[in-house]
Structure 1
Amino acid sequence: MAMHKAVATVAIRAKLGLIDAQTVPPTGREVRVHVEWTASTPLDLHQNDGGLLVKHPQILGDGIAGKVVEVGPEAKNFVVGDKVFGFAFRENKQKAYQDYATVPETTLGKLPSGFTFQEAVTLPNNTVTIFHSVTKDLGLPLAWPRPTTKNPHADTPILIWGGSSSCGQYALQILSAWGYKNLLATASARHHDYLKSIGARHTFDYRDKDVAQQILKVAPHVPYVLDCIASQQNSLAIIAQVAQGGTRVAALLPVIVRDATDDEAPEYSMDTQGAVKWADGVEARGVRTHFYEEDAFFKEHLQTTVVPELLATGIVKPNKQRIVEGATLLERAQAAMDLLRRKDVSGERLVWRVSDLKLE
């Protein structure tokens, strides 16, 4: 079988490694993509430094942007040469940090005209996360096509903790587009104006000691909270001061008990309900985006139809990108990992070119 280059985590907290991976021909409804760009995520750091759900060596990355080079016999959405972007994660062959990824065609959408791979690759994993977390964990509707009638939850307070994160930005844009108008967001003060421009009604600086009291002054009861940070002390402990009986909290797993640093290994928990002391009647759920395909409509249409149309029609704007440079695939991947560990990123995505192969 043909081989290609891939970047993998080879041991906990070790430098990333360059390995030879099998170039897997597509079967059924799969397609093989030449991976040109990706966007790093905190999960990459959790897997490398914390060994989260990893069996070494594991190829990293779940955001793919590139060109289709081969289609399976039952594929119906794409042909060779199509420019695509998407979110795939289940097996090594589907991962992003490699020359070629072989993925189900339902995990891809066509790149709309007028957009670059660098812009588009900021969308798929986190827009999918928003649709899944809002509908599955918060229990709020996001019907497709978008309803034309007034949203009955238009004035219901919804708190987005970590509004300037990639997920936070997409949450604000998507919820606003679906008619949720009473959106509260936390972020550094320098991001407040932008967050208001994409749907936040009120913004709060998460570093203020009385931020919980500020939120409650604006909204005495907040029934829905989406925690895009999921830090035991820096988000959940403060959200617990806001949440009251009947509040539903959805936190993007894992719960970070201790952050990774250059000197210390991280510590994680998957127990959102037990992470902090909640008021009676608060339901705290951990978001597991990788189960979004349990929804039959989402599995078939979310990435193939919905996400590309959100981008093409301007319902969502891509995250700002910081292009990570490096002479090789491995250098770019390691540089992005180091930036994640140092938390040297805010309000933007770390985006970088993957394959060094030049296809005709």
Structure 2
Amino acid sequence: MRSNSSLTSKVYIKMSGQIKAAVLTGSTEKNQLTEVKDIPFPKIHDDQILIKAVSYAANPTDWKHAVSDWGNKGNISGSDVSGVVEQVGSKVTGYSKGDVVSTFLHGNYYQNRGAFSEYVIADPDTTIKYNIEKFRNEPLSVGNHKFGPIDSYEGAASVTLGLVTVALSFAHNLHISTDRNANASKYILIWSGSTATGFLAIQVAKLVYGLNVITTASKKNHDVLKSIGADHVLDYKDKDVVEQIKKIGGENITYALDTFSTQESLQSVYDATENTKDVVIDNLLFLNENSIKTNPSRNVKFTQTLVYLVMEDQKLGNMFIPTNEELKKDYREFWHKALPPHIKDIKHNNLKVLEPGFKSVNPALELLREDKVTGEKIVFRASSD
């Protein structure tokens, strides 16, 4: 009896007191982007859920917020986390206490919510629920792990931002039909398939849409990308890579996603789709037809995916970018209906597992800032303390 009372008391103190989180310091110095602080225990709204964090993933957006005016001192860092549902808002359906989930949120942006926290406020619209029977409880060992099915908290933490990005790109910006028969003869060009987003985009394009997938990558990644669904993988370093793509796709490259998103890569994507009468080209930065050399006689639509718009209007520095209901509708339709049946078949990318605890946040962000990690997602477990 005393043991149960003691446990209840500890839970109550945790749920009503302070928790630890990695927050932005306001510094841009190496290994000083974040620090561990005590923050109030988060309170959810009726349309939110609360997650007890088990594993985290680091993303380039985390360090970019930290060194720009997108993120302010005291904001909770981190955008990707997996864990167990602790609380469910009264207006939320489809989730229960104890569910294994991963979620993406606009980290580094708020002082009361971010992924690198012991408990995390999550929105159902950016959360994935997993089959707990197929999940392993033991942590992955520190070091490198190959791509594979999402059966660990580390793997789950690594995919959510990427899947939300792909969902918004495919369902709204590219407006791809989910009619697999209609897509049977169509191609999508995914430039840089070994990136975190590209790796997932290949799988979604094949599993959900049934598209023919052309992608680019260094030769060492060709076999891996073919194993997850790419029909054609070309070396982006080849001088004639654009001509190779045109020969394969002909006039049927209806969609393109540039996950590398530089002027050079966008120019290559544009040139490779030259034979298609009507094509939509998406990228993950703010590039458009004015960023490259174009032919005014071609009918090409350029779009830009800013993943945070699935949540709300965005103010990034001096830029104000509004969202809209059509965007949210297209995204939610895909996220809640088209994607869930395929989660069991999606594989996470290679993982680089760091030491558990928030002590790994700064090293993770520095690895990304210095561009020392390619073809891997950096993940780490919550502290066991």
Which TM-score bucket, shorter chain as reference?
A: 0.7 to 0.9
| 1:277 alignment counterpart | 293
Relative distance call for 1:138 and 1:109 in structure 2 (3 A) is closer
Structure 2 residue 383 is the aligned partner of structure 1 residue 356: yes
AA partner of residue 102 (structure 1): I
Q: What is the TM-score with the length of structure 1 in the denominator? A: 0.82
Structure 1: 5+ residue runs without aligned partners? 254-269
Indicate if the aligned counterparts of 2:170 and 2:176 stay in contact, CA closer than 8 A.
yes
Relative distance call for 1:52 and 1:71 in structure 2 (3 A) is same
AA partner of residue 162 (structure 1): S
| 2:231 alignment counterpart | 201
Q: What is the TM-score with the length of structure 2 in the denominator? A: 0.77
Question: Which aligned pairs between 1:118-157 and structure 2 lie closer than 5 A?
Answer: 118-142=154-178, 150-157=180-187
Question: Secondary structure, in 3 states, of the residue corresponding to 2:290?
Answer: coil
| 1:109 alignment counterpart | 128
**Matched residues, number:** 328
Shift of 1:297: 6.6
Shift of 1:163: 0.6
Question: Secondary structure, in 3 states, of the residue corresponding to 1:247?
Answer: strand
Structure 2 residue 262 is the aligned partner of structure 1 residue 231: yes
| 1:261 alignment counterpart | none
Question: Which aligned pairs between 1:1-360 and structure 2 lie closer than 5 A?
Answer: 2-11=17-26, 13-14=28-29, 15-18=32-35, 19-49=37-67, 51=68, 53-89=70-106, 91-112=110-131, 113-114=133-134, 115-142=151-178, 150-221=180-251, 222-233=253-264, 235-244=265-274, 246-253=278-285, 270-280=286-296, 281-292=299-310, 294=325, 295-296=328-329, 298-299=331-332, 302=335, 307-312=339-344, 314=345, 316-325=346-355, 328-329=357-358, 331-353=359-381, 355-356=382-383, 358=385
Shift of 1:155: 1.7
Relative distance call for 1:195 and 1:300 in structure 2 (3 A) is closer
Cα distance in 2, alignment partners of residues 252 and 182 from structure 1: 21
RMSD over equivalenced CA pairs, Å: 2.5
AA partner of residue 214 (structure 1): Q
Relative distance call for 1:307 and 1:333 in structure 2 (3 A) is farther
Indicate if the aligned counterparts of 1:8 and 1:59 stay in contact, CA closer than 8 A.
yes
Indicate if the aligned counterparts of 1:122 and 1:318 stay in contact, CA closer than 8 A.
yes
Relative distance call for 1:122 and 1:248 in structure 2 (3 A) is same
Indicate if the aligned counterparts of 2:25 and 2:34 stay in contact, CA closer than 8 A.
yes
Identity %: 26
Indicate if the aligned counterparts of 2:126 and 2:164 stay in contact, CA closer than 8 A.
no
Relative distance call for 1:243 and 1:92 in structure 2 (3 A) is farther
Indicate if the aligned counterparts of 1:311 and 1:318 stay in contact, CA closer than 8 A.
no
| 2:3 alignment counterpart | none
Cα distance in 2, alignment partners of residues 274 and 92 from structure 1: 37
Relative distance call for 1:191 and 1:301 in structure 2 (3 A) is closer
Mean Cα deviation higher: 129-138 or 54-63: 54-63
Cα distance in 2, alignment partners of residues 107 and 187 from structure 1: 28
Shift of 1:286: 0.9
